[in-house]
Structure 1
Amino acid sequence: MQAGASSRRKVRAKPALPPALEPGLRGRVHVYTGAGKGKTTCALGLCLRALGHGWPVLLVQFDKGFDGENEHYAERRVLRGIPGIDLVPTGCERMNPDGTFRFGCEPRDVEEARRGLAAAEGALREGRHRLVVLDEALSAVMVGLFGKEEVAALLDLHAANPVAELVLTGWNAWPELVERADLVTEMRKVKHYYDTGLGARPGIEF
């Protein structure tokens, strides 16, 4: 190699962030997954912290609907009164009149999940929110409300306009999602009182 050839060698420049954001300002992708308790709780704590900084927050909850009468998730009674957070609960009532739980996915459940996806897509395109939480999005994939490809499309939107911090929660994060995320936390169950027969308790589980 001739002297000085190395100085003429082309150096591949690092790709610019799509909206020319500085690395410290670019929103990252979080995944909170695993069989242990705490995924939604962790995401709600992040919402509170973001609101404390004056960030606009979008919280989309999948398969945790509200029929206008029976509010099963007490945190939403508080969240509705906090300025700065847009709350989008989706899903149909799963408690039957006789007190049993309705399992499975019906067309109305899928339609509700699509409504949540549309809200998330709109927020990521618009870029007004600094934190976007998709609570139980992974669980929605697991039960068949929508597919991994819909989640991948949301990640593509975020990559094109990474203004918001994007958080996804739920069971069974798949390898491609883990690869694309910037932060993955797995809640591992070491011990749980459910295994002793104790059921969900108000103020703790809902």
Structure 2
Amino acid sequence: MAKLEKGYVQIYTGNGKGKTTAALGLAFRAVGDGMKVVMVQFLKSNKTGELNSAQFHSPNFQIHRFEKRRGFVWTLNETEKLELKGEIQEAFSFAKAVVRERKCDILILDEIMAAMYNNFLEISEVLELINNKPEDMEIILTGRNAPKELIERADLVTEMKDIKHYYEKGVVAREGIEY
């Protein structure tokens, strides 16, 4: 059973496909080595394959969502945005409790960059969470538009760069591949 001596901060960002997929790959590897992984997903409420896959690894791999199903941020009215902000704050409070109570070896904050980019979370809040993590806990943050303050704080930053994508030919998101 693997145990981290030192946990680092990783970021998967950029406009290319694969940020969540990379974090999930790391999660499945870690669970296979006996580690406990908690993933908190922000701005995701639709059905995805990872929710089903995580059940096979429970309780060592848990995915948590706090948002009710609704449209994309840019389609929401002000009341819906306020409601969403409350749900995101609840998810972030849960993530802080996971860190404070050391409930896992690896914490993945999926699409947290989008939560900050859309002003549902402050960069300073996320930096505080990172700075309060136990020495032996890994934290992974995903999403486009990683703020420079987080990039500077992280130990590893990978940028997914979109060079060519079949969306350009009208291919829509496919079950089991994109979600």
Please give the TM-score of this superposition, normalised by the length of structure 1.
Answer: 0.78
In the TM superposition, 1:1-206 aligns within 5 A as: 25-65=5-45, 71-83=46-58, 84-95=60-71, 103-104=75-76, 106-158=81-133, 161-206=134-179
Identity of paired residues, percent?
Answer: 37
CA distance in 1, matches of 2:93, 2:66: 11
Deviation at 1:199, TM superposition (A): 1.0
CA distance in 2, matches of 1:157, 1:80: 29
Deviation at 1:92, TM superposition (A): 2.3
Amino acid at match of 1:29: V
Amino acid at match of 1:93: R
Is the contact between residue 94 and residue 103 of structure 1 (CA under 8 Å) also seen in structure 2? Answer: no
CA distance in 2, matches of 1:102, 1:28: 33
CA distance in 1, matches of 2:160, 2:52: 26
Q: Which structure 2 residue ranges, 5 or more long, are not aligned?
A: none
Amino acid at match of 2:122: G
Amino acid at match of 2:17: K
Give the equivalent residue in structure 2 for 1:17.
Answer: none
Amino acid at match of 2:62: D
Root-mean-square deviation (CA, aligned residues, Å) is 1.8
| Larger RCO, structure (CA 8 Å, separation 6 or more) | 2
Kindly provide the CA deviation profile for residues 116-137 of structure 1, in whole angstroms up to 9, marking residues without a partner as x: 1111111111123111000000
Moved over 3 A (4+): none
Partner secondary structure for residue 11 of structure 2? strand
Larger Rg: 1
CA distance in 2, matches of 1:117, 1:183: 22
Deviation at 1:112, TM superposition (A): 1.1
CA shift in 2, pair 1:167/1:102, >3 Å: same
Kindly provide the CA deviation profile for residues 1-34 of structure 1, in whole angstroms up to 9, marking residues without a partner as x: xxxxxxxxxxxxxxxxxxxxxxx71100000000
CA distance in 2, matches of 1:55, 1:103: 39
Is the contact between residue 73 and residue 81 of structure 2 (CA under 8 Å) also seen in structure 1? Answer: no
Partner secondary structure for residue 64 of structure 1? coil
CA distance in 1, matches of 2:92, 2:68: 15
Is the contact between residue 48 and residue 176 of structure 2 (CA under 8 Å) also seen in structure 1? Answer: no
Partner secondary structure for residue 140 of structure 1? helix
Amino acid at match of 2:147: W
Deviation at 1:57, TM superposition (A): 0.9
Kindly provide the CA deviation profile for residues 20-68 of structure 1, in whole angstroms up to 9, marking residues without a partner as x: xxxx711000000000000000000011001001111111000113xxx
Worse overlay, 74-83 or 25-34: 74-83
